[in-house]
Every structure is written in structure tokens, then in C-alpha cells.
Chain A
Amino acid sequence: MTEKKLKRKTKNVRVIPGFGLSLGITLTVLSFVVIIPLATLVIFTAGMSFNDVIMTVTKPRVLASFRVSFLTAFIASAINTVMGIILAWVLVRYDFPLKRFMDGMIELPFALPTAVAGISLTALTSDNGLVGSFFAKFGIRLAYTRVGITIALIFIGIPFVVRTVQPVLEKLDPSYEEAAGVMGADRFTIFRRVIFPEIWPAAITGFGLAMGRCIGEYGSVVFIAGNQPFETEITPLIIMSKLQEYDYASATAIALVMLIFSFLILFLVSYFQARNTKMIQGGR
């Protein structure tokens, strides 16, 4: 039944002109920018032997870089998830001076070139920097350590969770919380039982998006990382140095592992995003 209906509709919809033209242009540009380069990657990969790929990506230095990239991205995204929920809550529920300004500021990491963020965070956290000198008194180094990488990734990831949780909170009717309060629930219970179930798919989506971005991040991290092999060398940097040595096979092999990781994250994100849209649209 529905199948038939859909088919009939297809015919109707083509009343609008421009199908051939718009799809033609779309596919042409898409081919040049995305499909051909991607196909080249596949062809190039097909020419590599499986053993070589495994050999390359299991070298201790490469494995260490996976660990550094994954760990710092995970910690930074986790911190951003907590801070993102707080920021979204503050921006949606409270009124205070400069709120609009603060809301606009959240977008800064998207707008500021990553290289600029990288060098200014490095200057800030190095041993004689504004923040770094304070920590240096206690013998804590920020720049050129994993902590530094995490700081850069926190900067990069700030907007993700805020911007996914914000619309959900805006839709959430405060009367539910009031009702729960009237019935005697304390604030923690209200958060846990009323608010949290509504926002967690959005928070996880934001976490995943931030994580995906952070794992591949290069510009802001290279300056602050110090790039010590095994310690503070991130995976994108290894790919970059392989490219500079014209070792395209190794670069591609490592890139493939990263691609698999990011597609996995993307897959999980789209799963939670689907749940999230359902929630925003009211469980249809």
C-alpha cells in the first residue's frame, strides 16, 4: 500500500523543473571534490599488501601516537561534555548581563583559525606564560605535555556539546521540574530523573562530534604538543611527517586506521542523533 503511494508521489513531485540540472551539477562537483580523490585513496590502498599495512600501523611509535591521540581526545571531550551541559543550562535557563555576548563567544573555536589558537595557547601555557608560570611554581608543566594537548583540544571542542544540548533544553518545559519539585523531589533527583533522561542523547552526540573532531585535530595541537615520540606525538603529526618523507604508503596505512576510527564514531553519533531528533520533535 504505502509503496504504491510513494511511487505515485514520485511522479507528482517531478512537476518542479530542474531535476536534471541540479543533480547533474551536484554530481559533477561532488565527483571532482570528493568521489575521485576518495576513489584514488581506495585504489592506492588496494595496491598495498595487507601485511605491510599491519606492520606499519603496529610499530610501537605509531601505536603510542594512537594512544596519545585517543586518550587526550577522550579526556578533553569528557570535560567538554560536563562543561557543555553546564554552559547550555546557564545560557538557556538564567538571565544575566552579557549573556548574549557569552552565547556568541561559544562559537569562537569554530571561527578562530586553529593555528592562531595553537600559538596563543602555547604562549599562555608555556613556563613563562600567563597561566603556565603559575603552574610552573608548583613544578607542573602544561605546554609540551599531554596536558597541553588536552587543553588545546578542550578549546577546539567547546561548541559541540553546548550547541547540541542547548536546543533540547530550550524545548524542555520547566513545568515538569516544577511538578517534580512540588511532589517533593530534591534538585539532584530532578536533574537525574527529569532533566538528564531528556538531554543525554544530545550530550552523547555532542561528545561524539567533539571526539571525532579532536582525534583528527592538527593545527592547534602541533604547537603546544612538543611532538616527542611516544610521549606527545599525535597521529595526524605522524601522518604529516611520513608525507614530508614522501612515504605515502605508511601515511596512507595510518590514515586508514584513523578513518576507520572516525567512521565508527560517526556511526555511533548518527545513531544517537536519530534518537535526539525524535526527542526534539516530541517522540514521533
Chain B
Amino acid sequence: MAEKQSNGLVKYFLIAISVIFLFLFLVLPLYVVVTEAFKKGAEQYWQAVSDEYTVKAILLTLEATVFAVVINTVFGVFAAWAVTKFRFEGKKVLTTLIDLPVTVSPIIAGLIYVLTFGRQSILYPLLEKYDIKIVFAVPGIVLATIFVTFPFVSRELIPVLESQGTDEEEAAALMGANGSTIFRRVTFPHIKWALLYGVVLCASRAMGEFGAVSVLSGHLRGKTNTLPLHVEILFNEFQYMPAFAVSSILVVMAILLLIIRSIIEHKGKKETEIR
């Protein structure tokens, strides 16, 4: 009996520690964003959110996110297919290279792109000839966003495809199905949820990327300013209320994606359980 009681004590003690820790580190920061954003009333909040530069930053963030999601999804599907359905030399090197971008500090990611496309690069004369601007321009921001979210889709797909094996695809191929039919009818139903999950992960990271984008953007207001960079500028200008108002947009987007993510996770789990 005494043993059981102390068991309960340990349980509540551990739950209490966890709740306090999460409250301090996760709930309070969100609370601060909301209270600071509405400190001067709803009207001021609306003004900050609908400010011309804010709207432009929202659009640029969406643009970079859409590009990153589309390219990384296409890449992720093909890469996962190549890696899991075939045997070839150098597979390990390939998967390491795919995973590499997330292990690199965002600042270094930015630096690498500046070296590649900036003024001192060997590619620069070529870029100048065709009048392509990458560094301190929108393409640079898009590229940086793609880079930091590069493996997000393929990383979700590879384990699923790996555990599924190749038998079903082989059978389909032997029965005469072509590549796209096999993918659509055999493979896709297996990876549906994992793919969606990867897309959401990719989107939520892409819209919030700061370091790499910051290096490549040059901070031109209204031109190369994404939402997170806009937050930085406002904060550094001591415009705290607008900074938090703009942040609140990102918070809402982040929480929405978080909810979608847990729904996807739940549904995916349910479906595999039924099978």
C-alpha cells in the first residue's frame, strides 16, 4: 500500500515538473506575443498587420514557402523512389547529401549561397551576362528556403517505402503496369499520409526560416523582406507593438500547421492500424 502511494507521489511530482517546464518555456512566450500585440488595442493591431510592408512581407513569405514545398515535394518523391526501390552504388553518399542541409547552421547555408552566386563567385560573370540576380534578391530567398527544408519530404517517405519493400511494385510491373500507374495505384496509397506530413513540416519550417534568408536578403523593405525579417527590423527599431503584431500572424500560421500535423499523424496511424 505504501509502495502504491509513493508511486502516485512520484507520478504527480513528475507531471508537475513537466507542466511547469512546458508552461514556462512554451506557453508563456505565446502569451507574451498575444498580449504585446494587443497592448495598444485592436485598432493599432490591425494597422500594424495591414501595413503595406507587412502585406508585402506576407506575400513574399508565401511565395518562398510555396516554391520550397513544391520543389522539395517533387524532389522528395523521386528521391525516395530512387533510394528505396532500387539498389545502386553510392546510395549512402546520396542520402547523406540529401540530409546534409538540415545539419548545417542556417547562417552557413546563407554563406554558401553568397559564395556561389555573389560577386566573388566564378559564376558571377555568367549571371551578370544574363542579368540574373540571386543574392540580395528574391531568388536567393527562395533558394535559401529550399535549402533549409530540403530533406523534409524525402525523410518522411523513405522509411515508409523502405518498410513496405518492393514486392508489390515488382508484381505490378510484371503484370505490365507502367511507372506512373504503379506509383499512382500501388505506391501512393502507402505514402499518402507520410507525404502530407512531410509537406506540412516543410511548409512550417519554410515560412519561419530566418538565418539563411537573413544572409541572402539584404533587408530591402518591401522587396526582399519576409515576415520573420520584418519582425526583426521592427523589433530593432524598438517598434515592439508592431513587431509582436506581425509575429502573431506567424504564430497563428505555426499553430494551424501544428494542428493539421497532429490530425494527419492521427489519421495515418489509424489507417495503418486498420490494415
Which residues does A use to contact B, with CB under 8 Å? 6, 9-10, 12-19, 21-23, 25-26, 29-30, 33-38, 40-41, 43-44, 83, 86-87, 89-91, 94, 96, 102, 104-117, 119-121, 123-124, 129-131, 151, 154-155, 158, 187, 212, 215-219, 223, 236, 239-240, 243, 248, 251-252, 255, 258-259, 262-263, 266
Residues of A within 8 A of B27 (CB): 105
Could you tell me the distance in whole angstroms from the C-beta of B259 to the nearest C-beta in chain A?
8
Residues of A within 8 A of B243 (CB): 119
- Residue from B87, B115, B204 having most chain A Cβ neighbours under 10 A: B115
B173–A239 contact, CB under 8 A? no
B92-106 to A contact mask, C-beta < 8 Å, 1/0:
001001101101111
Question: Which residue from chain A places its CB closest to the CB of B255 in the assembled complex?
Answer: A111
Could you tell me the distance in whole angstroms from the C-beta of A96 to the nearest C-beta in chain B?
6
Residues of B within 8 A of A44 (CB): 115, 120
Beyond known contacts A41-B115, A111-B254: 15 more, CB 8 A cutoff: A10-B87, A13-B85, A13-B86, A33-B146, A34-B98, A83-B18, A89-B14, A91-B18, A102-B19, A104-B258, A108-B26, A115-B229, A119-B247, A123-B240, A248-B120
B231–A116 contact, CB under 8 A? yes
Q: Given that A102-B18, A104-B258 are known contacts, is A219 also in contact with B36, CB under 8 Å in the complex?
A: no
Q: Given that A94-B15, A216-B104, A218-B107 are known contacts, is A108 also in contact with B170, CB under 8 Å in the complex?
A: no
Q: Given that A120-B32, A216-B104 are known contacts, is A34 also in contact with B147, CB under 8 Å in the complex?
A: yes
Q: For the complex, give the distance between the alpha carbons of A198 and B244 in Å.
A: 44
Q: For the complex, give the distance between the alpha carbons of A151 and B75 in Å.
A: 36
Q: Given that A13-B87, A34-B100, A259-B108 are known contacts, is A94 also in contact with B14, CB under 8 Å in the complex?
A: yes
Q: Is B42 positioned at the interface, with any CB of A under 8 Å from its CB? A: no
Could you tell me the distance in whole angstroms from the C-beta of A177 to the nearest C-beta in chain B?
11
Contact stretch, chosen from B48-56, B188-196, B209-217:
B209-217
Q: Can you list the 8 inter-chain pairs with the closest CB atoms, starting with the nearest?
A: A216-B105, A113-B208, A219-B210, A218-B211, A22-B82, A115-B228, A17-B179, A18-B179
A114–B211 contact, CB under 8 A? yes
A218–B29 contact, CB under 8 A? no
Which residues does B use to contact A, with CB under 8 Å? 10-11, 14-15, 17-19, 21-22, 24-30, 32-33, 36, 71, 74-75, 78-79, 81-83, 85-88, 94, 97-98, 100-101, 103-108, 110-116, 118, 120-123, 143, 146-147, 150, 166, 169-170, 173-174, 178-179, 182-183, 201, 204-205, 207-211, 214-215, 227-229, 231-232, 235, 240, 243-244, 247, 250-251, 254-255, 257-259, 261-262
Q: Given that A115-B208, A124-B32 are known contacts, is A239 also in contact with B107, CB under 8 Å in the complex?
A: yes
Q: List 24 A-B contacts (CB under 8 A).
A: A10-B87, A13-B85, A17-B178, A26-B83, A35-B97, A41-B111, A86-B18, A90-B18, A104-B259, A105-B26, A108-B26, A108-B254, A110-B201, A111-B208, A113-B254, A114-B208, A116-B208, A116-B251, A119-B247, A120-B247, A129-B32, A130-B28, A236-B107, A252-B115
- Residue from A10, A151, A158, A255 having most chain B Cβ neighbours under 10 A: A255
Residues of A within 8 A of B254 (CB): 108, 111-113, 116
A252–B111 contact, CB under 8 A? yes
Question: Which residue from chain A places its CB closest to the CB of B34 in the assembled complex?
Answer: A120
Residues of A within 8 A of B123 (CB): 40
Question: Which residue from chain A places its CB closest to the CB of B232 in the assembled complex?
Answer: A115
B211–A40 contact, CB under 8 A? no
